[in-house]
Amino acid sequence: MKVADLMKTDLAVVNEDISLKDAIIQLADARVRGVPVVDRRGRLVGVLSASDVVQATAEQSSTGERGEVFEEMPVRDLMSTPPQTIGPDEDVRRAAQQMLTLDVHRLFVVSTDELLGVISQSDLVRAVAKGSL
């Protein structure tokens, strides 16, 4: 089975130039733990995860300071780079091995700098449960 067969294509995506506050709202609205970050040309440049937000929150000493930082800081200053990627024609077992090796929960599916989708550990578990793998 190929990555393209399991990946999700309906993604919440944030631009690297928006504020952390706006990105956090999108993250919460999408009910996901991480969103891909793209540049002005739509190329994948990073990922903003709930863990990144928690870490930034812990590093601020006060609520006021935190609010200021989240209002003013662009996503590009907090996002994790490089984003972990895989091609759509790769075998899903390779995706599973890559997630384990890199200790990540998701891989973004790209082809020639174009973001096509995402495959997560949850997608793999569902496929195993359904007997697809």
pLDDT at 54: 83
59 has pLDDT over 80: no
Identify whether the C-beta of residue 93 lies closer than 8 Å to the C-beta of residue 86.
no
Which SS3 state, helix, strand or coil, does residue 23 take? Answer: helix
**Phi and psi for 83 in degrees, rounded to 5?**
-70, 145
* Average pLDDT along the chain: 89
**d(C-alpha 75, C-alpha 87), whole Å:** 25
Identify whether the C-beta of residue 94 lies closer than 8 Å to the C-beta of residue 86.
yes
**Phi and psi for 3 in degrees, rounded to 5?**
-55, -40
pLDDT at 106: 92
Average pLDDT over residues 34-62: 85
For the segment 69-126, what is each residue's pLDDT rounded down to a tens digit? 778 889 999 999 999 999 999 999 999 999 999 999 899 999 987 899 999 999 999 8
Domains and CATH numbers, the chain: 3-129 (3.10.580.10)
Q: Among residues 96, 116, 111, 104, which one has the least CA distance to residue 80?
A: 104
20 has pLDDT over 80: yes
pLDDT at 66: 57
pLDDT at 70: 75
Which SS3 state, helix, strand or coil, does residue 105 take? Answer: coil
pLDDT at 33: 85
